Amino acid sequence: MLKGIPAIIPPELLKVLCEMGHGDTLVIGDGNFPAESVGKNSIVIRMDGHGVPEILDAVLKLIPLDQYVEKPVSLMDRVPGDNADVSIWQKYFASLKNAENRGVESVNMLERFEFYDEAKKAYAIIATSEKSQYANIILKKGCVL
């Protein structure tokens, strides 16, 4: 155990977050996200038993978001006609506000396949057990000042 590191962060994720540089991206995928196939050229970290909001909160305690881009966060937008509950996004907006004093204005909405294309470029993907649909999020790492 280390002081100041959220207990939810496994050693492998701590190592990956440390290795990531400015502009590298991290995907936190819900339980339906195809982490292994999308992440075949990335590092895939399994965090089964955890949801996206708790992992997002922990990650944002350790890395800054890119301060040089307007929208360092991307969400997978709902497919047109799909009425899936996306109330989980409100938790994300609250986490961004709490950690970085940023909110919805820092979030880019991506069409499903556009999100997958961006996710394929990620340095790492965290696979979770999140049951909410459209709970996938991409974070662009910033500089520690």
Q: Are 93 and 127 in contact (CB under 8 A)?
A: no
Task: Look up residue 49 and give its DSSP letter.
Answer: T
Long-range contacts of 80-84 (CB under 8 A, 24+ apart): 82/133, 84/133, 84/134
State the amino acid at position 43 in one-letter form: I
Active site residue 22: yes
Query: Looking at 15, 22, 40, 61, which residue is catalytic?
Result: 22
Give catalytic residues, as residue numbers.
22
